[in-house]
Amino acid sequence: MRRVLGVAAAILLVLIPAGAFAQGGVTSIPSRIEFRDVLRGGEASRSLTVINDTAQPREVEIVVAGDGGDWITLTRPDGTPLPEGYVSAAGEEISLQVLATVPDSAPNGVAEATIEVTFIAPRIEGVVNVDLALGIPVTMDVTGDQRLEAAFLEFIAFDTEVGLPLRMTVLTLNSGNVTFNPFIDIRVFRAVAGEDGSVEAGEEVASSLERGDSIRPGQRRTTIITFPTDDLTPGVYVVEASVDFGGLDLGTRRSVAEIAQRGTLTRAGVIRSMEVVGGTVFGGVTRVEVVFANTGQIEARAVFVGEVSRDGELVEVVQSLQRLVFAGENDTIEVFIETPVAGEYTLVGKVNFEGTETEENTLSFTVADPSVVSEGGNSLPLVIGAGVAGAGVLAMAAWFILRRRSRKVAPVRSDHDSPASTTDSTG
pLDDT in tens, the chain (427 residues): 333 333 334 455 555 555 443 335 788 999 999 998 898 888 899 999 999 988 888 889 999 999 899 999 999 988 888 888 888 888 888 999 999 999 988 889 999 999 999 999 887 777 777 889 889 999 999 988 888 899 999 999 999 999 999 999 999 999 988 888 899 999 999 999 988 888 999 999 999 999 988 898 988 999 999 999 999 999 999 999 999 987 889 999 999 999 999 889 999 999 999 999 877 888 888 999 999 999 999 999 999 999 999 999 999 999 999 999 999 999 999 999 999 999 999 999 999 998 899 999 999 999 988 776 444 443 333 333 333 444 444 445 444 544 544 444 444 433 333 333 344 444 5
Spatial separation of the C-alpha atoms in residues 414 and 146, rounded to whole Å: 26
Spatial separation of the C-alpha atoms in residues 61 and 76, rounded to whole Å: 14
Q: What predicted TM-score, i.e. pTM, was given to this entire model? A: 0.63
Query: CA dist 82 to 22, 61, 76, 97, 289, Å?
Result: 25, 10, 6, 10, 15
Phi first, then psi, for residue 2 (nearest 5°) are -75, 145
Domains parsed from the chain with CATH numbers: 10-144+374-426 (2.60.40.10), 150-260 (2.60.40.10), 281-367 (2.60.40.10)
Spatial separation of the C-alpha atoms in residues 138 and 115, rounded to whole Å: 7
What per-residue confidence (pLDDT) applies to 340?
Answer: 93
AA letter at 367: V
What per-residue confidence (pLDDT) applies to 147?
Answer: 86
Nearest to 302 by CA among 286, 320, 276, 284: 320
Nearest to 297 by CA among 256, 268, 332: 268
Phi first, then psi, for residue 25 (nearest 5°) are -120, -160
Spatial separation of the C-alpha atoms in residues 269 and 244, rounded to whole Å: 37
